[in-house]
Amino acid sequence: MEAAAVHVARRRRVGPVWALASLLFLVGALLAGVLVGPAHLSVPDVVQSLLARAHVPGVTSPLSPVEDAILWDIRLPRVVLGALVGAMLAVAGATYQGVFRNPLADPYLLGVAAGAGLGATIAVAYVSTQNLIPPAAFAGAAVAVGLTYALGRSAGRERMGTTLVLAGVTIASFFTAVQTFVQQQHADTLQQVYSWILGRLPSSGWTDVVLLLPYVAIASLLILLHRRQLDVLSVGDEEAATLGINVPRVRLALVVAATLGTAAAVSVAGLIGFVGIIVPHAIRLAGASAYRVLIPLSLVIGAGFLVLADVVARTALSPAEIPIGVVTAFFGAPFFAVVMRTSRRFG
């Protein structure tokens, strides 16, 4: 027990400099997301428009009606949505890596991606209503994770961590097979389905932000409250139990929170991969291995990372737009290879 306590206590910390750097990174990403685009907007004009919207006395917006609509109805909601999705995926990835003590775990480990993909495919194939895709994807993700948990629990609590991963692989394979069958029966919907699967940040105003915000807030808060217990879980179930941690309860709370937030993010933005791998491991490479530091930094840096990825997605081939999932995969695939070579350092 003493060795486990020492192991947890010796986790490297990140000082205020790194915390400040992560906040500056997020601010820079948000500014880039708001300012970069076909329509030129300057920082002073945006700030003045923000003050005018806040009803500061004597301040009026210098933007034209068209520029004002671009800022408030297109760019700002898209940037905020990207920040929410990126933050949630990064925190969920870090949480899964801690819960399952697997540095290669990501937010889609328990079948969220396969379930959401099947739900979205069914909505496109049989309902043909764009507005039903997010709730159908969320429902599919929830069902997949529920089945994964039920299957994993059937093997016994003492092997819960390992069997959950295996159950996730099983359920994901089954749901993917069903999705493929539905796609073959409705080949005319393939383009729309793959457009969603590759990930995108919809420009539908503030509706998606309002829809996603409560899920991200609740899930992130619950994970933040348990971040110190993640450090204890990382030394092993038996050691954590001797240190006073109720391992099954903590693991369930963290898995439910991370999965709920991930399902909500995926239902709105599609299957954006690698965020949960890139961000936590980039932070570890910078020197933070303690989850009490890693989790909040993942929240901030994940938000900034996906906003910048979206800037690349909508400007690299302008006026065409690259699916944001392609952009994150472009950076994530080589980074994943690096992580695989260095994973023993963080195990």
CA separation for the pair 89, 197 (Å, rounded):
16
**Which pLDDT belongs to residue 157?**
57
317-337 pLDDT, tens digit per residue, is 888 889 999 999 988 878 877
CA separation for the pair 171, 144 (Å, rounded):
7
What pTM was computed for the model? 0.89
Beta carbons within 8 Å of 217's beta carbon, 6+ residues apart: none
Domain boundaries, the chain: 79-345
**Is 2 a residue whose pLDDT tops 70?**
no
Place of tokens 């961590």: 161
Beta carbons within 8 Å of 181's beta carbon, 6+ residues apart: none
**Is 285 a residue whose pLDDT tops 80?**
yes
**Which pLDDT belongs to residue 3?**
46
**Is 298 a residue whose pLDDT tops 90?**
yes
Reference 204, options 267, 272, 131; nearest CA is 131
> Cβ distance 84 to 269 under 8 Å?
no
CATH architecture of 79-345: Orthogonal Bundle (1.10)
**Which pLDDT belongs to residue 342?**
66
For 45, the token pair is 């004009």
Percent of all residues in the chain with a pLDDT value above 90, rounded to a whole number: 45
Q: Give how far Cα 108 sits from Cα of 245, 254, 255, 309, Å.
A: 26, 14, 11, 19
**Is 11 a residue whose pLDDT tops 60?**
no
Percent of all residues in the chain with a pLDDT value above 70, rounded to a whole number: 90
139-176 pLDDT, tens digit per residue, is 999 999 999 988 887 766 556 667 888 899 999 999 99
**Which pLDDT belongs to residue 194?**
85
For 153, the token pair is 């629990």
**Which pLDDT belongs to residue 156?**
62
**Which pLDDT belongs to residue 23?**
94
CA separation for the pair 169, 312 (Å, rounded):
32
**Which pLDDT belongs to residue 103?**
78
**Which pLDDT belongs to residue 4?**
46
CA separation for the pair 120, 122 (Å, rounded):
5
Q: Give how far Cα 315 sits from Cα of 1, 48, 225, Å.
A: 54, 25, 38
**Which pLDDT belongs to residue 313?**
93
For 203, the token pair is 């420009």
37-81 pLDDT, tens digit per residue, is 888 888 998 989 988 888 888 888 898 889 988 999 999 999 999
> Cβ distance 183 to 120 under 8 Å?
no
Amino acid at the residue 173: S
> Cβ distance 278 to 331 under 8 Å?
yes
Helix axes 207-225, 247-269, angle to 10 degrees: 160
Please, what is the average pLDDT of the chain? 86
Q: Average the pLDDT over 239-260 and give the result.
A: 86
CA separation for the pair 32, 306 (Å, rounded):
12
